[in-house]
A and B are shown apart, each in its own frame.
Chain A
Amino acid sequence: EAGVAQSPRYKIIEKRQSVAFWCNPISGHATLYWYQQILGQGPKLLIQFQNNGVVDDSQLPKDRFSAERLKGVDSTLKIQPAKLEDSAVYLCASSFSRDRGLGYTFGSGTRLTVV
């Protein structure tokens, strides 16, 4: 089974620029998550989708971050404008269902550096 695909792997931008990340989950996984992992910290959930609907975006800085999953499959996370503190690895994950015993499958992440 193919894993969770993310692109790009790396991105360097200047502050105040915009950037977008793409994620394609495992086929059939209804739930998709975006996490932010700042260096030296554990991943923090930004947004969770169930099919194409948002389930939890309480930790998403909505003044600059946005995400969509229009057809309930792949997803895009955007930052506009970027700040220095947005430098992090952005991880996408998916899960088959809301069964809390299954855990998630993570992609390799996109490492963003804002200079």
Chain B
Amino acid sequence: GDSVTQMEGPVTLSEEAFLTINCTYTATGYPSLFWYVQYPGEGLQLLLKATKADDKGSNKGFEATYRKETTSFHLEKGSVQVSDSAVYFCALIDPGGYNKLIFGAGTRLAVHP
């Protein structure tokens, strides 16, 4: 079945460091891809999305590019802030299913001053 694999955390960075969180997927068709973020004590929020190959999603300085050839959707940010500390989830929606959102296990990011 469809699945999402994320790099294990926690990822610990200093403020202004470069961030990459790896995400790869397995799907039978051409899914839509998402990054969700969960700040401490809060619900899941959509961070960015891409619906077709080579699309780049971006929001709040974060970017991710839909790479069909490597089945990847890695999350990047050029300069992280302490306020970016959260858990990040990569997810996909299978086009052949009932709009079912499938999540990876999540990657915890901790940014220190």
On A, residues with C-beta under 8 Å from B are: 31, 33, 40-45, 48, 50, 55-56, 91, 93, 95, 98-101, 103-109
Contact = CB atoms under 8 A, between A and B. Distances in A.
Interface in B33-54: 34, 36, 42-46, 49, 51
29 contacts: A40-B106, A41-B105, A42-B4, A42-B89, A42-B103, A42-B105, A42-B106, A43-B103, A44-B103, A45-B101, A45-B102, A48-B98, A48-B100, A55-B98, A56-B97, A91-B43, A93-B44, A95-B99, A100-B32, A100-B93, A100-B95, A101-B32, A103-B34, A103-B46, A104-B46, A106-B43, A107-B43, A108-B43, A109-B43
Contact of B45 (A95, A99, A106, A109): A106
Contact of A56 (B91, B100, B104): B100
Interface residues of B, number: 26
Contacts, number: 62
Nearest to B55: A101
Given A100-B93, A101-B32, A101-B51, A45 B100 contact: yes
Given A41-B106, A42-B89, A42-B106, A103 B101 contact: yes
